[in-house]
Amino acid sequence: MKTKGKLATAADTKKEQLSQFEVNATDRVLTTNDGVAINDNNNSLKIGERGPSLTEDFIFREKLAHFDRERIPERVVHARGTGAHGVFECYEDLSEYSCASFLSAKGKKTPLFLRFSTVAGFRGSTDLARDARGFSVKFYTDEGNFDLIGNNIPVFFIQDAMNFPDLIHAVKPEPHNEIPQAASAHDTFWDFVSLMPEAAHMVMWVMSDRGIPRSLRMMEGFGVHTFKLINKDGVAHFVKFHWKPLLGVHSVTWNEAQKISGYNSDFHRQDLYDAIDSGNFPEWELGVQIVSTADEHKFSFDLLDPTKLIPEELVPVKRIGKMTLNRNPENFFAETEQAAFHPGRVVRGIDFSNDPLLQGRLFSYSDTQIYRLGGANHQELPINRPVNSVYNNQRDGAMRTTISKGETAYFPNSINNGCPYQAMLKGEKAFTSHEEQVDGKKIRARSNSFADHFTQATLFFNSQSPVEKQHIINAFSFELSKVNRVDIRKRYLGILSQIDTNLTEQVAGNLGLDVPSKLDDLTVHFAQQNHPNYPLKAPKPEVLKSVALSMETNSDKATIATRKVAFLVADGVSKASIDALKKELEKGGAQACIISNKVGELLFMEGGTENVQHSYLTEASVLYDAIYIPSGKHLEVLAEEADFFQFLNEAYRHCKVICFAKGTEKLIEHTYFSNKKADAGLLINTSGDFAKTFVQALKAHRIWDRETARKVPS
């Protein structure tokens, strides 16, 4: 499918490379995999019309044998995903910090592929599960591939990769009954995290609105780990990577997420595909937090601890480039599903820190891709191939596609003049590991600088707006209410008691339990296995509240771009009333979606018709960002439409903008908010220049004051 917009004509090296492997079957005869033309693809070879089938039917056997093997093992984690192609444009020369070529010049463009995912669910699970989201970017640089693999949350549950299998076993469906799917609200997950205080910070993020994003296009991305940038002189700086969405960071409510899963479990996947297909290319700016290696021990937290972030008040995020997703995959399996990511896939100018979770991932990711994709040659798949040439002495293996010429497959050699040669022999640019002095005893232990598990969890909670705090309280109350074992509920209340008193009291009250006075003895016991003197006195934090951690208070320039507004109508609606708002929405990049009591031809009050694709039977308010009821002679029809009022009632509950055009206000009498006053998002009896008022309200995303006043659960 052709992409639209100004970036569609930009040079895209990766697209040209992939096109070599594309097949277009238009106006082509059907063949076997050996190229033999097939005359009949509906009937297997038999003796007589009703006789037995023959094993000599090679066409049938090939077709079924391929079908039997066309599924590969799904990813153990991040199985549910979607992706898109794009380009990264560098804002400035970053050679002061890194000799990476793709960061070497202002305006330099690098093709890329990005895969979003949920963590816990299987491939067939819903997009709207409460979960962390994977945010993995493969840069096809001119010096080789660089994979920046992260999440939409800047920290992780655990500090050491030794615990990773246990974490995933705990959050996956329970093994005795395979329930629940794509959910953390069950005993085994909360049992695990209640015994692992280090998970407290990450759990706070997942229980926040970050765990249920409005769109993949409206969430941040983080590299999670501390990496290193290395310049041409071998000087290293620590770095944290950030992706900042230009559409802002937005979520849905929990009640809304549950209903979206019922109406469209592919909501995020379809949203991303449709946006790119329509030319509304999603954009993020790449930011970095750079810390001198001399300042490694400067902070109250450890830079190598993956359960910690660097508050932006301490180290501002420097924006160094922009990523634009501008092309959908042509084939989901060949591109998105076969894309193989690995945090150890770096280029010169980027290197690893000693983060013990990162160090474990350097093995695990490559190992799982070799298993999942059938062998060591998965980098030869078109989606994984670098754009520069590959020369080495690796040969053979399953699915080998490269035809390597020559007599030698070893180094050193003289038969092939020592080729391919090491870059050092001719002084060419190449990856060189950063030289770091390391001295110590072999030991299974953790630094005490990793032992503060609650300060940043408290920082995160304190940084939220009152509405966001209430959503976190509601989320903990919902999740822990699904835990059957009361001792696990009590134990996690002990974790919460170390974070915030009000948070603990409200969650405990919702669960009908008392507030614990201390951590559970069992939790302390397991924590002491990593830190023998746990709990240690926490260091004094530099930052008590960070604006950057709140979705509500830390939004980029407000925009309505790509928002979807439901126009609720029936035959007899005024086209002029529709156009009055539609033009203003489209000016801001939003989309007006007409929904009627039936699909097909819609009759306007002024005469004329329009074809409508959506009806109250197939649509729901949870799929839209705001609601508009135009004026006209359709009010009597709407007044008899139960699903019309379902739209209105749910939209109000979910704090969305609702606008009644002049003359339609009497319909409010049939809603449950008929006795409510107009607010910033409930626009009644509108006339004149109401369109600008509507747009301004839509920019706020939600009217959260309405929720607080009604005390609606999240």
Residue 439 has pLDDT above 90, yes or no: no
Enter the tokens of residue 68. Answer: 């039997």
Which residues partner with 118 through β-bridges? 133
Annotated catalytic residue within 151, 163, 384, 530: 151
Ordered by where they begin, the domains of the chain are 81-384 (2.40.180.10), 462-549 (1.20.1370.20), 564-710 (3.40.50.880)
CB 489 within 8 Å of CB 512: no
Whole-angstrom distance, CA of residue 267 vs CA of residue 625: 13
Above pLDDT 90, what percent of the chain?
84
| DSSP structural state of residue 324 | E
Q: Quick: pLDDT tens for 603-635.
A: 999 999 999 999 999 999 999 999 999 999 999
Residue 690: its H or E element: helix 690-699
Residue 9 has pLDDT above 60, yes or no: no
Cis link prior to 539 (omega < 30° from 0)? no
User: What pLDDT score does 705 carry?
Assistant: 87
- The residue written with tokens 């490559």 in the block is 366
**Confidence tier at 12 by pLDDT (50, 70, 90):** low
- Is 201 one of the catalytic residues? no
Enter the tokens of residue 140. Answer: 């096809």
- Is 384 one of the catalytic residues? no
Least confident residue range of 1-15, 180-194, 648-662:
1-15
User: What pLDDT score does 555 carry?
Assistant: 59
Whole-angstrom distance, CA of residue 45 vs CA of residue 39: 12
Q: Quick: pLDDT tens for 278-329.
A: 999 999 999 999 999 999 999 999 999 999 999 999 999 999 999 999 999 9
Q: Quick: pLDDT tens for 84-94.
A: 999 999 999 99
Strands 227-230 and 350-352: antiparallel
User: What pLDDT score does 687 carry?
Assistant: 67
Whole-angstrom distance, CA of residue 667 vs CA of residue 644: 10
Neighbouring C-alpha atoms within 13 Å toward the C-beta of 557: 3
Whole-angstrom distance, CA of residue 519 vs CA of residue 496: 9
Which residues partner with 661 through β-bridges? 686
